Structure 1
Amino acid sequence: MDFLASTHLHITSWVVGIILFFVAVLLVNGSKGQKITQMVLRLFYVFIILTGVALFITGMDFDMGMLYGFKLLGGIVIIGMMEMILARMKKQKPTTMFWVLLFVFLFITMFLGFKLPLGSSFLA
Structure 2
Amino acid sequence: MDFLTDSTHVHITTWVIGIVLFLVAAFMNPASKGRKIVHMVARLFYILILISGLALFIEYSSSDAMMYGLKFLFGLVTIGMMEMVLVRSKKQKPVTMFWALFAVSLFVTLFIGFMLPIGLDLF
TM-score, with structure 1 as normaliser: 0.94
1:7 Cα shift?
A: 0.4
Question: For this pair of structures, how many residues does the alignment match?
Answer: 122
Alignment deviations for residues 73-119 of structure 1 (CA, whole Å, 9 cap, x no partner): 11110010001001110111111111111111111110000000010
1:97 aligned residue:
97
> Once the two structures are aligned, what percentage of the paired residues are identical?
57
1:60 Cα shift?
A: 2.1
SS at match of 1:114: helix
1:18 Cα shift?
A: 0.4
2:120 aligned residue:
120
1:12 aligned residue:
13
2:48 aligned residue:
47
* Structure 2: tracts of 5 or more residues without a match: none
1:61 Cα shift?
A: 3.6
SS at match of 1:27: coil
Code of the residue aligned with 1:20 in structure 2: it is: L
State the alpha-carbon separation in 2 of the partners of residues 91 and 19 from structure 1. 22
In the TM superposition, 1:64-79 aligns within 5 A as 64-79=64-79
